[in-house]
Structure 1
Amino acid sequence: MPATMTSRALLLVGVVLTAHKFLCTAYVGGDGFSVEFIHRDSVKSPYRDPSLTAPARVLEAARRSTSRAAALSRAYAGADASSADGAVSELTSRPFEYMMAVNVGTPPTRMLAIADTGSDLIWLNCSNGAGAPGLAAARHARAPAPAPAPAPPPGVQFNSANSTTFGLVSCGSGACRALPEASCADSKCRYLYSYGDGSQSTSGLLSTETFTFADDQGTRGDRAMRVANVSFGCSTTMIGSFIGDGLVGLGGGDLSLVNQLGADTSLGRRFSYCLVPYSINASSVLNFGPRAAVTEPGAATTPLIPSEVKTYYTVDLRSVKIGNKTFAAPQEYPVIVDSGSTLTYLANELVDPLVKELTQRVKLPPAKSPEELLPLCFDVSGVGEGQVAAMIPDVALELGSGGGATVTLKSENTFVVVHEGTLCLAVVALQFPPVSIIGNIAQQNMHVGYDLDKGTVTFAPADCARSSGSLYI
């Protein structure tokens, strides 16, 4: 491996995740690296509920999406109330959808963390700190406010005392200043991330470690890429019930994984994913570096626009089209592109005419919406899946000023089965102004690439199961 890619080269976590007994693989190459993007309901997820039917899982995801949208909205409100740069301390990923494996430390500890485009900080569950100088003392440096009982021990904890590359970050560092809420503990940087309702939080010391991404399957040689001194939160105190071994922030803020890779490697600040539909038993794929380039036919690129919260990837939605009908969005209408939200949330001015037009065009009997959660449902009992898809018209999103990019949503991007025989629209009226969201159902079977250096996001239709199949069987 070239010298430029040794101490500060990149890492690729290709993992037989022994602690969870689920297979996670990764591909490393000169054009970047790729890891599995595991949906929480995947057969590879330790959080899958085997008692649920496929439609029931979709309905549960829709319920989580409502909580997620509320959290994103609170973050926006916090940004408006706090500072011009939109710094907020609220962690918005409680209702998560995707995970990735990470190898941390020397020797590495394999962990399965939430992968979140709506958060920045990387934080991992750490042991109580008894083995690391300064870590145990810092744990008690500031007494927490009265709160619910701490969460039970997580599945995997990182023990910094066992790693030769672990370090602590000083209070005066740029990384510490990038935290929305930080304090000092023996001159070391202590962080606190809390949920908006105060019921859950994580705190600990901002630390540095070596992250390693490697092909553990041995089918592509013994190459491994390492990134030294990745800043992350070593979480020693947790209130509430967190799922996963930590969180990898993929947002636009300075402490996110994509920004740190851009600063410490030659890969640039870019990543992409290709989301496999819920109905397909395969992992999605998450790409970094040149591998994140979206080059498929029909690719549509639109500028990222400034957001109240720097973390969020926001684009300008100009209109929604069905056939020859165009429904204009409110003027200067920002929409967050978010992999962690299941549903798509748009203003009433767009959803109401969309529902009316689909009601007229789709020749299927109406059905009752479960829990009145979704605005339009049809009875598809006895109708073949292919027949249903042919009856649903495409919906086009026109993005960017001047209609610079058109993203076409097929039936699988707009409708989901939430009960046996019940098909419902996965686009709902905005419940938590001012946040509008393009969710992950709308992004299925699309290669979506974010380039922070160019300030763009690109969408292209793709067969995501086929794209990831050669990597993740």
Structure 2
Amino acid sequence: MEATMSRVLLLFALLLAGQRGCTASGAGGFSMEFIHRDSARSPFHDPALSSHGRMLAAARRSLQAGAHYSRGAPPPAAPAPGDGAMTEVISRSFEYLMAVNVGTPPRQMLAIADTGSDLVWFNCRKGSGDGDLHTPSSDGPAPPLAAVFTPSSSSTYGLVSCQSNACQALSEASCDAVSNCQYQYSYGDGSRTIGLLSTETFSFGDGRAARRVRVSNVYFGCSTYSAGTFHSDGLVGLGGGAFSLVTQLGAATSFGSKFSYCLVPFYSANSSSTLNFGARAVVSEPGAATTPLVRSDVDSYYTVALESVAVGGWTVASNRSRIVVDSGTTLTFLDPALLRPLVSELERRITLPRAQSPEQLLELCYDVGGKPQGEWGIPDVTLRFGGGGTVTLRAENTFAVVQEGTLCLVVVPVSEGQPVSILGNVAQQNFHVGYDLDARSVTFAAADCTRSSAS
């Protein structure tokens, strides 16, 4: 599988190199907001929720995403079942958003940022000269402040032929009536998007035109139908496959195929995390730990080898397993062979009184009512990854207050509904995490992410 994917990536890179253009005012990179869906900067923000209410809602989403898929819920009906390419990826809820300016003149789209999938797509509207496009639809309530891209309003929009190499890189791609490339992309929870593979100019930056990075001829899905959990303007795939934004930026610019983020803690509702590309994505903080990417069942996933788990410096489990590093999943999911001894050792060391989990979502909870955080006595948990890199998780990475006075372990076992081990975003809070597709590695460094956030 890796050899096949390498050939596809090479073909795609050669194709991109032959037709791309890029203008950039920065020196080798750029940064932008990485907006948590529950933060004050998000249109999904609920001001009535406390910080622990936001945490509980995020934990609930993590568990429900897998439960939906395990129950065998049928995927939503599509206008043309079986047409186009289908790629099924991990079942998940979305947690982070990013703004992309699409087209000429630019139309700002606030999209799901997904490190576990590849395709970049936005909702499209039928307009004069747009061909056989249809008004998008979705299950559930309409997204707040939704934006829709109108191809006819942009002077740089282009369609892709179904005979092109790019279209052929989409498995089982199909042709519409006028030989444009159709796609169908499906996610593990049954959500899907259907549309036309297209090209457009994207621009990124801090809102000041002079400092924006513009990249032309980016491949994206002009979505004419979406169904499921996509309550947004679209989705930007940041995974490791051929059509992800990371791969396309690497082929079209001098930035390289790399990006990073620094996630602010959940309680920092008035701050946004930072998403970096190019030179700004280099993780150079003291103590940085690098681990190589390993073979994955899905090309999109950033999968590494987890060798062992230690509590307070004492190794409690050594059982090599693959784990996906993912910003789109809140909780951390571990193989029971690693989780059971971890929980046993935490129970032995933590002297707080036990408490019931809200909604019985989480296994290990404690009563911390009236006790300052400095007296909780939560030991550090150290993960040793392949290549010898070690990452030490503080209390804020392994436990969270999910209701007033109740502290719970936010590490849960993999299950039939969620069979993939995942290092979730709580475990990554206050870490600078860098992904380098050129070097095939992921790097972690402890950081104060509120200092680099967009406040």
After TM superposition, the score normalised by the length of structure 1 is 0.83
Deviation of the 1:182 alpha carbon: 2.2
Q: Is the 8 A contact 1:71 1:92 kept in 2?
A: no
Q: 1:93 to 1:109 in 2, by over 3 A?
A: farther
- Identity score, percent: 59
Deviation of the 1:148 alpha carbon: 8.4
5+ residue gaps, structure 1, are 12-27, 75-86
In 2, the alpha carbon distance for the partners of 1:68 and 1:181 equals 27
Deviation of the 1:241 alpha carbon: 5.2
Bigger mean CA offset, 294-303 vs 371-380: 371-380
The residue type paired with residue 359 of structure 2 is E
In 2, the alpha carbon distance for the partners of 1:256 and 1:378 equals 41
Deviation of the 1:51 alpha carbon: 2.2
Which of 443, 457, 470 is equivalent to 2:442? 457
Q: Is the 8 A contact 2:21 2:215 kept in 1?
A: yes
Q: 1:408 to 1:158 in 2, by over 3 A?
A: same
Which of 411, 414, 421 is equivalent to 1:430? 414
The residue type paired with residue 415 of structure 1 is F
Residue 58 of structure 2 is matched in structure 1 by 61
The residue type paired with residue 302 of structure 1 is T
In 1, the alpha carbon distance for the partners of 2:361 and 2:332 equals 12
Residue 316 of structure 1 is matched in structure 2 by 305
Residue 6 of structure 2 is matched in structure 1 by none
Q: Is the 8 A contact 1:91 1:193 kept in 2?
A: no
| Cα deviations by residue, 1:134-185 (Å, 9 ceiling, x for unpaired) | 243xx59xxx9xx987975871000110100000011122221222452101
1:49-448 aligned within 5 A: 49-69=46-66, 89-90=87-88, 92=90, 95-127=93-125, 129-136=126-133, 139=134, 152=142, 155-185=146-176, 186-196=178-188, 198=190, 200-217=191-208, 222-240=210-228, 242-280=230-268, 281-331=270-320, 333-388=321-376, 391-401=377-387, 404-432=388-416, 434-448=419-433
Q: 1:416 to 1:171 in 2, by over 3 A?
A: same
Q: 1:256 to 1:70 in 2, by over 3 A?
A: farther
In 2, the alpha carbon distance for the partners of 1:149 and 1:361 equals 47
Q: Is the 8 A contact 1:151 1:241 kept in 2?
A: no
Q: 1:226 to 1:457 in 2, by over 3 A?
A: same
In 2, the alpha carbon distance for the partners of 1:148 and 1:462 equals 39
Deviation of the 1:93 alpha carbon: 6.5
The residue type paired with residue 37 of structure 2 is R
Say which SS state the counterpart of residue 271 (structure 1) adopts.
strand
In 2, the alpha carbon distance for the partners of 1:365 and 1:400 equals 36
In 2, the alpha carbon distance for the partners of 1:72 and 1:408 equals 32
Q: 1:164 to 1:434 in 2, by over 3 A?
A: same
Q: Is the 8 A contact 1:118 1:249 kept in 2?
A: yes
Q: Is the 8 A contact 1:322 1:394 kept in 2?
A: yes
Q: Is the 8 A contact 2:86 2:184 kept in 1?
A: no
The residue type paired with residue 101 of structure 2 is N
In 2, the alpha carbon distance for the partners of 1:241 and 1:323 equals 40
The residue type paired with residue 309 of structure 1 is V
Deviation of the 1:10 alpha carbon: 5.5
Q: 1:72 to 1:324 in 2, by over 3 A?
A: farther
In 2, the alpha carbon distance for the partners of 1:322 and 1:248 equals 36
Say which SS state the counterpart of residue 158 (structure 1) adopts.
coil
In 1, the alpha carbon distance for the partners of 2:68 and 2:140 equals 22
| Cα deviations by residue, 1:221-263 (Å, 9 ceiling, x for unpaired) | x233210000000011223452110000000010000000001
The residue type paired with residue 231 of structure 2 is I
Deviation of the 1:119 alpha carbon: 1.0
In 1, the alpha carbon distance for the partners of 2:122 and 2:335 equals 36
Q: Is the 8 A contact 1:73 1:435 kept in 2?
A: no
In 2, the alpha carbon distance for the partners of 1:58 and 1:73 equals 23
Q: 1:10 to 1:71 in 2, by over 3 A?
A: farther
The residue type paired with residue 204 of structure 1 is G
Say which SS state the counterpart of residue 227 (structure 1) adopts.
strand
Say which SS state the counterpart of residue 271 (structure 2) adopts.
coil
Say which SS state the counterpart of residue 261 (structure 2) adopts.
strand
Residue 451 of structure 2 is matched in structure 1 by 466
Say which SS state the counterpart of residue 49 (structure 2) adopts.
coil
| Cα deviations by residue, 1:371-401 (Å, 9 ceiling, x for unpaired) | 222121110000112333xx11110000005
Q: Is the 8 A contact 1:275 1:445 kept in 2?
A: yes
Q: Is the 8 A contact 2:96 2:114 kept in 1?
A: yes
In 2, the alpha carbon distance for the partners of 1:33 and 1:368 equals 45
Aligned length: 420
Say which SS state the counterpart of residue 438 (structure 2) adopts.
coil
Say which SS state the counterpart of residue 29 (structure 1) adopts.
coil
In 2, the alpha carbon distance for the partners of 1:44 and 1:89 equals 32
Residue 77 of structure 1 is matched in structure 2 by none
After TM superposition, the score normalised by the length of structure 2 is 0.87
Say which SS state the counterpart of residue 330 (structure 1) adopts.
strand
In 2, the alpha carbon distance for the partners of 1:447 and 1:149 equals 36
Q: 1:334 to 1:88 in 2, by over 3 A?
A: farther
| Cα deviations by residue, 1:6-27 (Å, 9 ceiling, x for unpaired) | x72267xxxxxxxxxxxxxxxx
Aligned-residue RMSD, C-alpha? 2.5
In 2, the alpha carbon distance for the partners of 1:169 and 1:152 equals 29
Deviation of the 1:217 alpha carbon: 4.5
Residue 80 of structure 1 is matched in structure 2 by none
Q: Is the 8 A contact 1:115 1:248 kept in 2?
A: yes
Q: 1:109 to 1:93 in 2, by over 3 A?
A: farther
